[in-house]
Structure 1
């Protein structure tokens, strides 16, 4: 059961809007979790065909054994799809999620797919999230490419 937003409902996707969901619908909606944001960023980076390569100093800033696979190819400067980088991040890597939270924090959705539809339909949200992703990668000294 999906509840999508009507175009004429001003800010209906935000909790603080004047639109009130029926109790049964509202109980099915949730705020995006880390996994939802990860999947959304993977989708957006695939759509933009983003790739990134890291300098060797990235290895020094990665903490934990969970990143071993990631480190193995980061050190050689090859460009890899950003969605692979995001998927390989340990869930403990909350900086990216925390940076996205001010953008997605008021959204209430029923699933990752619903979150993706809502964000895809709002160019401003899409651009803000892509900017956060780009900043996250460049802060880790990545070079970013778009396209093939």
Structure 2
């Protein structure tokens, strides 16, 4: 059976949440981190109107589940409103409506293979130093300056 991959850009709708699921055979009975977030897939199309760049042609919210081992570290980087690119397997989930018992709701959900921060709304980026990297390579500023022809 073929597996379809869906890739989209969108904004995170609420603060990402990390949960720990019970261990299983694959995780050698160790609790597994699960990062849950919602991302708004927006269909923006270049506008013909002079007062706006894009028209919103509709979109939808996608519930994203990220099961990778680095889910805790990724959760620390992601913030509400941040623009991200998400890639993974898309599905439709159904659940009972909390406000109307007996009524079912459905929505788009995605098991993410990757989550990438899109830098359009980033104010700053920090990186932690690595002893091995700092003792064996030149500082990042050196590479940045060399790439820009400064030195």
TM-score strictly above 0.5: no
What TM-score do the two structures reach when normalised by structure 2? 0.27
- Tell me which protein shows more strand as a share of its residues: 2
Point out which structure has higher relative CO (alpha carbons under 8 A, 6+ apart). Answer: 1
What TM-score do the two structures reach when normalised by structure 1? 0.27
Larger radius of gyration: 2
- Tell me which protein shows more helix as a share of its residues: 1
